Each structure stands twice: as C-alpha cells, then as structure tokens.
Amino acid sequence: MRVKAAHPPAGRGARALAVRAVRGAHSGRFAVVMATGIVSAVLRQHGRLVSSAVLPAIAAGCFAVLAAVSAWRAAAFPAELCGDLRSPGRAFTSFAFVAACDVLGDRLASDGQHDDAAAPV
C-alpha cells in the first residue's frame, strides 16, 4: 500500500514556509540537542557552572520544538518519513534522536533533576 504525500501549499506565506520546513525536516536535526548537552557536560566538568546551567535549557527547548516538528511531519508527510527510514543516507541520522534523548536525560540527571531527565524518554 502506497501512502500519498500531502503537497505543501504554494505561495510565500508563513504557513507555506512552515509546511515546507516541516516536510524537509528530518531526525538528524536532533544532533543540535546532543551537541548542546555534551558541551554543557564538559563545561560542568571544568567548573563553568553558569554556562553549563544555561545549555540544558536551550537543549530542552530545541528538543521540544524538534519533537513537535517530527510529530507534525510524521502525521502530515508519512511517505517522506518512510522514504527517510529506507534511505541508507538518511536512516542513520535517526539515531540522533536516540542520542539526544540520552545526552539530555543524562545531563539533567547529573544536576539531580531526575523527574525532568525521564521526560525525553
């Protein structure tokens, strides 16, 4: 059974831009959450507590936005999502989501925020 993809609306309005952005989004973008969490952990180890404390909030915000965009994309463009998962060049980037959950959760847990750390999982 083939799933027919919805076509983004033509035009240059904000809605059309948002739909095109969501359609082109893929799970590799979660790498920003992963990288931010890793940098935060390193800063914490080197005693840069203020900088280290800000980065998990940025990572959590990015995670929330990317999770919403991913859910929207899965609902609106399932054919593109299936195509990504079948493509050797793009399927591997799906692991960025898993790594982002792990790194963000670990970083929050290291601050004693165990309830918040369980949220991404």
Is the pLDDT at 51 greater than 80? The verdict is yes
**Both tokens assigned to 57:** 């909030």
Q: Which residues constitute the domain of residue 38? A: 26-118
Is the pLDDT at 113 greater than 60? The verdict is yes
Task: Give the model's confidence band at 83: pLDDT under 50 very low, under 70 low, under 90 confident, else very high.
Answer: confident
Q: Is residue 19 part of a domain?
A: no
Instruction: Give the chain's domain count.
Output: 1
No. of H helices and E strands in the chain? Answer: 7, 0
pTM: 0.75
Q: Is residue 20 part of a domain?
A: no
Q: What does the pLDDT average to over 102-120?
A: 73
Q: Is residue 4 part of a domain?
A: no
In angstroms, rounded to a whole number, what is the distance separating the alpha carbons of residues 60 and 108? 10
Task: Give the model's confidence band at 15: pLDDT under 50 very low, under 70 low, under 90 confident, else very high.
Answer: confident
3-class state of residue 59 by DSSP: helix
Q: What does the pLDDT average to over 29-55?
A: 91
